[in-house]
Amino acid sequence: MIYRFGAFSLDKARQELRRGDALVEAEPLALALIQHLIEHRDRLVGKDELFDVLWDGRAVSDAALSTCIKSARRAVDDSGTLQAAIKTVHGKGLRWVAQLETPGPATTQERQTDLDQPEEEWIAASRRPSLAILPFDILGGDMTAATLSEAIPHELIAAISRLRWISVIARGSSFRFRSGNGNLVEIRQKLGVRYCLTGSVEMIGRQVCISVELAETSDGQVIWAERFQSPLEEVHQIRETIVAQVIFAVEMQIPLSEAAKARLQSPENIDVWATYHLGLQSLYRFDQSDNARAIAMFEKAIALDPGFARAHAALSFAHFKTAFMHYGTNRDVAVNAARGSAERGIELDPMDPFTNFNMGRSLWLVDDLTGAQSWLGRATSLSPSFAQGLYARAWTETVSGASDTGRRLSDEARALSPLDPMLYAMLGTRAISLSQQNRDYEAAKWIERSANAPGSHYLIKAIAVALNDMAGKPGEAASWAERLLQQRQDITQAQFFRSFPFRDDTYRARMAEALRRHGIE
């Protein structure tokens, strides 16, 4: 569907605003506001409704709405004085007043994207993966099962819609299908989605049994499945667990699937999204050459689509690694690049948890832990099940000296993402939090798990040296020191404490002495 008004056209399916043939750079929230006002142009739209639509009912200030309205007006060459498109009815709300042409499908030259098109062209119209969540099947006639069959998918739609990198079909469309009476080919054709989440609910006595599957619509391949069971009395707990686990599966399994597809394409045919995911595959390997490949991929994705917020955020992540891991000789260049890319991601999509996460992490590099806490808190507020956001908050709290909070957040992150590529860091954060409370023997056990986990890097080995020494295990500490120096002979305490700026001077001195006893000056 394309809405045309004056010199402008808003393509609903592609989420693009154009002035003539030129693409207008506009924030996603501004586009969402314009679209909502157009679709409800026959009435006044109140402020509370806009908060629900734009922020899913989350508590934000009136100033945030005012900023969004200004951005929307600026995008369509309107203003608070002119009010040629968006009219303010003071104290009540907004109305769309610009003359609208009869909405219809795009012309051939504009690449139609309505549902009457062939499925491949419809799916190709969006660079983002797309997901339909269907109401679950009911096994048996129990009323509780019938309620859960719609309540849980509804909550999943609301939760996953907060993940700004994936398109989620609204309930009004996806709930026209049932898992058992609509095959994936039909769902792909009708809804234009690459992925589909289905499930079933069954009552066995007083036990609730819920099965969930995530599949590709192109070939029906199941990329994730799980079965949950609990007493009926604990249905709220199982509901929260399902939401958390499905979000984890979406965040982990869909990117893996997208990257696998990208590898099958010739380089000249890799699109923006595939390029981005190839970069992600290298991003989570803490190796200098892999990090360089990730930077190259993200820069390529940005060159193809400068408005792709997540690519800017991921580029910030990669530059963060360059500075944090002390790759190269000019750390300041990497620090500035991490901050700049994060800021650009925030400009493009301030509501994406991943952009907020990387903005927070970029502040670690300049020792602004208070600023980092604010941005990381925003990331997990936008997506409460964002495991890496919880881990980053855990690390920040722990280094700041709030060991109890750090350990709790670290445990929450591991529970949400038990196979996360940053699992070693979650384990290491827990180890440090225990060490700060002089629980050295426990800390040594946890850092062993961290240092032996996949992806663990040389800085984790340095922590293993210190915590084993502090636990009275000099042999184990010496063994880790040997492995550390084989991997990174040039490590110094200055480098270590630049990456881990502990606020507690007593603890910092204790760790420094432990490192010094094993040749790390």
pLDDT tens for 454-498 read 888 999 999 999 999 999 999 999 999 999 999 888 999 999 999
Q: Which two tokens stand for residue 282?
A: 């290298």
The whole-angstrom separation of Cα 208 and Cα 71 is 47
CB-based contact 360:379 (threshold 8 Å)? yes
Report pTM. 0.62
N-to-C CA span, the chain: 64
Range(s) of the chain covered by CATH 3.40.50.10070: 120-254
Fold for 2-110, please state it: Arc Repressor Mutant, subunit A (1.10.10)
At the top level of CATH, the class of 120-254 is alpha beta
d(CA 363, CA 467) in angstroms, rounded, equals 26
Gyration radius of the chain over CA positions: 25
pLDDT number for residue 46: 85
Give 389's contacts (C-beta < 8 A, 6+ positions apart): 353, 356, 357, 376, 379, 380, 383
pLDDT band at 268 (very low <50, low <70, confident <90, very high): low
pLDDT band at 58 (very low <50, low <70, confident <90, very high): low
Which residues share a beta bridge with 201? 138, 210
Give the whole-angstrom CA distance, residue 257 versus residue 328: 32
When pLDDT is cut at 50, 70 and 90, the band that residue 116 belongs to is very low
Q: According to CATH, where is 1.25.40.10 located in the chain?
A: 265-367, 385-521
For the chain, the average pLDDT equals: 84
The class of domain 265-367 in CATH terms is mainly alpha
Q: 385-521 architecture in CATH?
A: Alpha Horseshoe (1.25)
Q: What is the pLDDT of residue 406?
A: 92
Percent of the chain at pLDDT exceeding 90: 41
Q: What is the pLDDT of residue 191?
A: 79
Contacts 24+ apart (CB under 8 A), 376-383: 379/353, 379/354, 380/353, 381/58, 382/58, 382/162, 382/351, 382/352, 382/353, 382/356, 383/162, 383/163, 383/247, 383/353
Mean pLDDT, residues 212-239: 87
Task: Give the number of other CB atoms < 10 A from CB of residue 253.
Answer: 15
**pLDDT band per the 50, 70, 90 thresholds, residue 265:** low
CB atoms closer than 10 angstroms to residue 178: 14
Measured CA to CA, the distance from residue 152 to residue 162 in angstroms comes to 16
Q: How many CB atoms lie within 10 A of CB 344?
A: 19
What's the pLDDT tens digit per position in 501-519? 999 999 999 999 999 999 9
The mean-pLDDT minimum among 35-49, 121-135, 304-318, 360-374 falls in 121-135
Q: How far apart are CA 159 and CA 56, in angstroms?
A: 9
Identify the residue with better confidence: 443 or 157: 443
Mean pLDDT of 405-434: 87
The pLDDT value recorded for residue 329 is 79
pLDDT at 127 over 80: no
Highest mean pLDDT: which of 243-247, 257-261, 271-275, 313-317? 313-317
Which pLDDT score is estimated for 73?
A: 92
What per-residue confidence (pLDDT) applies to 238? 80
